[in-house]
Chains A and B, each alone.
Chain A
Amino acid sequence: MKIGPKSGLALALAAAVGGSFLTPRLDAYFLNILIDVGVNIILAVSLNLINGYAGQFSLGHAGFMAVGAYTAAGLSTLVSANLLARFHGFEHSCWAFGCFLLALLAGGLLAALTGFLVGAPSLRLKGDYLAIVTLGFGEIIRVLLQNFESLGGARGLSGIPPWATFGWVYGWVAIVIFTVLALVHSTSGRGFLAVRDDEIAAQAVGINTTQYKVSAFVIGAFFAGIAGGLYAHSKQFISPEGFGFMKSVEIVVMVILGGMGNTAGVILAAVVLTLLPEVLRPVAAYRMILYSLLLIVMMLTCPRGLFTALGERAKGWLARPKNGGPP
């Protein structure tokens, strides 16, 4: 039996919610890593829509994440501080559930609005100019947050309620993967690929390239905002420094390692690159040096992504006839 995309989404959501009933038994350290993996998958898959499928190189994904994180965390700390005092047991009521959902969505929507503002200049810029403008936007967001005293300023925002459970995170992982894949494989979504492959040709056959570029930014930013909200509610502390240029680069590296426009590869890369620092803990001092060398070597040897290259090799190997026939 073949599972359709919609039933796949339903199954994944059910598995995420079911999983969250099992996770309290897990080790806290392990659970933490699992949640980090989930958040990074959302970030990488959403950036892949902008960078990989629509071909608009963005270096400001951490900025969108910051907008979502601060909006959601600001709302939920405000609400829980005011309501927690009045209702006993607010933490576990379905009100908390609703509040979290609304806070996350508000964060996502504000991030999407920011994405629209960043997407607008992308109409006129391409390649490295666009990369530097998105980088600039990310830095501006960080500096603004540093000076936003009511949200903690440079000290950061603490005391965020720990609402982001396994179920929440992996529920959103399922949603973002479904959305991006369904979008890209739909008739109208093919426009993203057309804009990436040859913008002038796409324009010539009547594709509204502007609309595609901006919608890639808006959708990608929305999910980055959601990821930010989830991140804030699992770490319970956020500071502007955590959403700097380095964070954006980290997400970009996931997309590149996985292969731009290869969602399965990108998910795998997000998992590997989140686990890698834990594995490399014994050589922590050289960890980041190795990481940057990996990036350079990868670009020199297989610029289309490690997992894309490996996937093709595996396919070729599987397709090869047995019994030594002609290859």
Chain B
Amino acid sequence: MAAFLQQLINGVSLGAIYALCALGYTMVYGVLQFINFAHGDVFMVGAFAGYYCAPLAAKLFQPQSALGAVMVLLTSMTVCAALGVLIEKLAYRPLRDHPKLTVLITAIGVSLFLEFAGQKFFQADPKPFPELLPHAQYNPMPNLVISSDQLIVMGVSVLLLAGLHFIVRHTKLGTAMRAVAFNPQAAALVGINLDRIISFTFALGSALAAAAGILYAMNYPAIDPLMGVMPGLKAFVAAVLGGIGNLPGAALGGLIIGVVETFVGGTAWSAYRDAIAFAILIVILLVKPAGLLGRTEVEKV
């Protein structure tokens, strides 16, 4: 029982990170209908922004202080929001009326560019991520260990998800975002500035990816320029699993992928844990292509 709970907690805290990342995929897909392949690399840039900001925060505040950690998180989210807007402006906006495949290939190009530029400028060797907060461990039951980092991951994720929910449901920008996702032409007709909303969507998604990057780096203490590839792909799988374009679906999908992966990692099949997300993806696309919470659309001629 304790082992089960332990795996569940590990899985949920990993899943929360996937969920934050998956939201970026699903939001961009909602407004532009394409897979932003570079999203996983924005996640990586977020972790590196935190890495370079942490010494500064330690100097400004006490080392390992809560304020410093918040500053690292906010700085990295700002950097990535700007990066996301920039990527959209330079690489995706000129292609908005092109076939989706062209944009997809461009996104792969952007992703490779961030990876290789990262390897050049951040160096390819894994770097230990600074400890932003003091470590602590709690033992609520025998054989059950919860680390403070896991609690922080879950807490920050819940806060960010609540914030996102508020923005999307209760602000003017969020309403406009939903309108664009529902029907871009109609949204433009009623005076919504498409470019602005799309930029805003990229900023929001990229900021969430940066937060996910910092949280990931806190739990898996080495970061490198290719760290975003696998979590990025798995987060995408999570978005598809939940129903792409559907925000609660992405969060649910992230949790499911995280939990399943952790449980598989605890069995004799642990060597296959990187493949399990893709196996889930293929099964879900064959059985229910619209995802768990998505709705099926019929192409009209």
List chain A positions with a Cβ less than 8 A from chain B: 57, 121, 124-125, 127-129, 131-133, 135-137, 139-140, 143-144, 146-147, 200, 245, 249, 252, 256, 285-286, 288-289, 291-293, 295-296, 299-300, 303
Contacts and interface: CB of A to CB of B under 8 A. Distances in A.
17 contacts: A127-B101, A128-B35, A129-B240, A129-B285, A129-B289, A132-B236, A136-B277, A143-B274, A200-B301, A245-B229, A289-B120, A291-B116, A292-B115, A293-B113, A295-B105, A296-B106, A299-B109
B61 interface: no
A292 B278 contact: no
Nearest to A255: B105
A200 B102 CA distance: 21
Nearest to A303: B102
Nearest to B300: A200
Nearest to A121: B286
A140 B278 CA distance: 7
B286 to A, nearest CB: 6
A121 B287 CA distance: 10
A303 B99 CA distance: 9
Given A132-B35, A295-B112, 12 more contacts: A57-B104, A127-B104, A129-B240, A135-B233, A137-B282, A139-B275, A139-B278, A147-B271, A286-B120, A296-B110, A299-B102, A299-B105
Nearest to B273: A143
A245 B278 CA distance: 13
Contacts of A146: 271
| Chain A binding surface, main DSSP class | helix
A140 B276 CA distance: 8
The 5 closest A-B pairs by CB, nearest first: A136-B278, A295-B109, A292-B112, A292-B113, A143-B275
A43 to B, nearest CB: 17
Contacts of A137: 278, 282
A300 B94 contact: yes
A286 B278 CA distance: 32
Contacts, number: 110
Interface string B220-243: 000000000100010011001000
B177 interface: no
Contacts of B103: 299
Contacts of A143: 271-272, 274-275
Contacts of B233: 135-136, 139
B281 interface: yes
| Chain B binding surface, main DSSP class | helix
B240 to A, nearest CB: 7
Contacts of B240: 129, 132
A143 B120 CA distance: 28
A200 B299 CA distance: 10
Contacts of A291: 112, 116
Contact of A289 (B102, B108, B113, B229): B113
A168 B279 CA distance: 36
A127 B120 CA distance: 32
A47 to B, nearest CB: 13
Contact of A292 (B94, B116, B236, B274): B116
B95 interface: yes
Interface in B158-216: none
A195 to B, nearest CB: 15
B243 to A, nearest CB: 13
B37 to A, nearest CB: 9
Contacts of B108: 249, 252, 295
A299 B108 CA distance: 11
A68 B136 CA distance: 50
Given A288-B112, A292-B113, A252 B279 contact: no
A121 B279 CA distance: 13
Given A296-B109, A299-B95, A133 B275 contact: no
Nearest to B280: A136
Contact of B91 (A124, A256, A288, A296): A296
